[in-house]
Amino acid sequence: MGYFTILAAIPGFFLSAFIFMLLWGVIAPDFGIEKIGYPMAMLITITLWLAVAPLAAAAGRGKRE
């Protein structure tokens, strides 16, 4: 079951990176920072996912017990 869950998350990753890039492009001019491209958005997204995944796993284990 876990393997298929990982496979199901892959499209979500690419969509999350794309949405992040679009939203960053809208907000960036207001703060005077430069826009980012899709590869940088993917890097930021995977970094956030790696930081949040252990927290989500711990929260999921806590609910089952």
DSSP secondary structure, 3-54, as one string: HHHHHHHHHHHHHHHHHHHHHHHHHHHHHT-----HHHHHHHHHHHHHHHHH
pTM, entire model: 0.73
Q: What is the pLDDT of residue 42?
A: 96
Boundaries of domain holding 15: 2-64
Cβ proximity of 38 and 18 under 8 Å: yes
Local structure of 36: helix, strand or coil? coil
Number of domains in the chain: 1
Task: Give me the average pLDDT of each 10-residue run along the chain (65 residues).
Answer: 78 94 95 95 93 83 64
Q: What is the pLDDT of residue 33?
A: 94
Type of residue at 29:
P
